[in-house]
Structure 1
Amino acid sequence: MSGFVVTGTDTGIGKTVFAAGLAGALGAAYWKPIQSGLEDGADGDAVARLSGARVLPEAYRLTHPLSPHRAAELDAVIIDPARLTLPAERPLVVEGAGGVLVPVTRDLLFADLFARWRLPVVLVARTALGTINHSLLSIEALRARDVAIAGIAFVGDVNEDNEATIAAIGGVPRLGRLPRLDPLDPATLAAAFTASFPGLRA
């Protein structure tokens, strides 16, 4: 196992918490190539706090909490795809920004990067209303680019029908479901991840 890309069906669904749990379970380094939005801290800081994983520096740190293409324009930054080559560290957990088709630049999407990187993708999805459509569209976008999908990981309250329907229609492995954690700390995340994703271990 050399690593995974963690992407989502949307923004704000718990993708970073899942990535932290995965990095901790695998003993992997973590890399978020583009951080958009710094006011609430970087996602890498949260991953380091929750998992103790080694966090590699971002290629770009952008001020505004927007899609990278727009955040870069507002910061007068030109994103060079050559700087988005995967680091050599293995195992490695790489986190995208937002969803599969979020623009990196005005002519490059995250799904295009995933196809170049050739690491299997874990798609993180919420369990609530709307997740079937968002998840199946994301799966289709990845398959259209010949991206290997390791499986789908759910975050949120249990919704058996939504979870089973997405896995069956999408034809992807159902990896498990991470519940919302309160409190969210290294101990609760590690315990929940071990219980929820027994197949994702070093």
Structure 2
Amino acid sequence: MNQVKLIVAGIGTEIGKTVASAVLVEALQADYWKPIQSGGLDDSDTDTVRRLISNSASCFHTEAYRLTQPLSPHAAAEIDGITIELDAFEVPQTRSNLVIELAGGLMVPLNNQDLTIDLVKKLNLPVVLVSRNYLGSINHTLLSVDACRSRNIPLMGILFNGPTVPSTETLILNYTGLPCLGRIGQEEAVTKAVIIKYAAGILPRLHQLIEAFQQKF
């Protein structure tokens, strides 16, 4: 398997992208990068993933933007007196695998012209879409898939997080034709042991999908 670089996107906020990212980082012993951190600078998503993984190979790359307020990036940047520019984002140089976690959903604005999905298009890497069951999640998942496909953004698969609803997951997978990368269940607490468990569980499927994806693209 060649070097893997992928983007973790969610169908909205509070979907579980950071936990999913930690699982993927642990499974691939990958580096981690969050291009934009909005708020929580004293305990960022980078800090969370660093705490949750157990391997010693992963490196954590500095965010391109560290914004003080827990708001949409465009609003947080305005408060901080800066403008987010697409040209400021460059994928970190590394010989390791790399997991990139987005902020919010795909259609979140970065500035007055650009959305997060425009950043995804610029980075030109495959997307793992994290979906979580709630009323409206089918709609949000299908819209996210459609938004990527309309821009020719490659989707590697869907990773379900949280309570399992088989009928919802089956509909999403059948309608989109995307493979299921795995499922992260509802846990009372997310610990290193939990991350190791799910990383080991998805690793065979992850390798299978990555190899198929690399052969195709």
TM-score normalised by the shorter chain: which range applies? over 0.9
Q: In the alignment, which residue of structure 1 is the partner of 2:7?
A: 5
8 Å CA contact 2:9, 2:102 repeated in 1: yes
What residue identity is the alignment partner of 1:5? I
What residue identity is the alignment partner of 1:122? V
Percent identical among aligned pairs is 43
Corresponding residue SS for 2:206: coil
Corresponding residue SS for 1:70: helix
Q: In the alignment, which residue of structure 2 is the partner of 1:112?
A: 118
Q: In the alignment, which residue of structure 1 is the partner of 2:64?
A: 59
Deviation by residue 1:161-202 (Cα, 9 ceiling, x = unmatched): 101111111121111210122231111111123224532259
8 Å CA contact 2:131, 2:141 repeated in 1: yes
TM-score by length of 2: 0.88
8 Å CA contact 2:26, 2:195 repeated in 1: no
Q: In the alignment, which residue of structure 2 is the partner of 1:179?
A: 185
Q: In the alignment, which residue of structure 1 is the partner of 2:137?
A: 131
What residue identity is the alignment partner of 1:7? A
8 Å CA contact 1:176, 1:197 repeated in 2: no
1:191 to 192, 197, 206: 197
What residue identity is the alignment partner of 1:176? G
8 Å CA contact 2:17, 2:130 repeated in 1: yes
Note if 1:16 corresponds to 2:18: yes
8 Å CA contact 2:27, 2:203 repeated in 1: no
How far apart in 2 are the matches of 1:46 and 1:116? 26
Corresponding residue SS for 2:205: coil
TM-score by length of 1: 0.94
Q: Which sections of structure 2, spanning at least 5 residues, go unmatched?
A: 211-217
8 Å CA contact 2:34, 2:63 repeated in 1: yes
Aligned residues, how many? Answer: 202
Corresponding residue SS for 1:199: helix
8 Å CA contact 1:4, 1:120 repeated in 2: yes
How far apart in 2 are the matches of 1:197 and 1:142? 25
Note if 1:96 corresponds to 2:98: no
Q: Which sections of structure 1, spanning at least 5 residues, go unmatched?
A: none
How far apart in 2 are the matches of 1:108 and 1:54? 29
8 Å CA contact 1:13, 1:155 repeated in 2: yes
8 Å CA contact 1:122, 1:152 repeated in 2: yes
Q: In the alignment, which residue of structure 1 is the partner of 2:88?
A: 83
What residue identity is the alignment partner of 1:181? E
How far apart in 2 are the matches of 1:59 and 1:39? 13
Quote the offset at 1:13 in angstroms: 1.2
Quote the offset at 1:49 in angstroms: 0.4
Q: In the alignment, which residue of structure 1 is the partner of 2:215?
A: none
Quote the offset at 1:40 in angstroms: 6.5
Q: In the alignment, which residue of structure 2 is the partner of 1:42?
A: 44
Q: In the alignment, which residue of structure 1 is the partner of 2:127?
A: 121
After superposition, the Cα gap between the structure-2 partners of 1:137 and 1:36, relative to the gap in structure 1 and judged at 3 Å, is: same
Corresponding residue SS for 2:71: coil
Deviation by residue 1:82-131 (Cα, 9 ceiling, x = unmatched): 22111122311001111111111111111111112121100001023211
How far apart in 1 are the matches of 2:22 and 2:59? 11
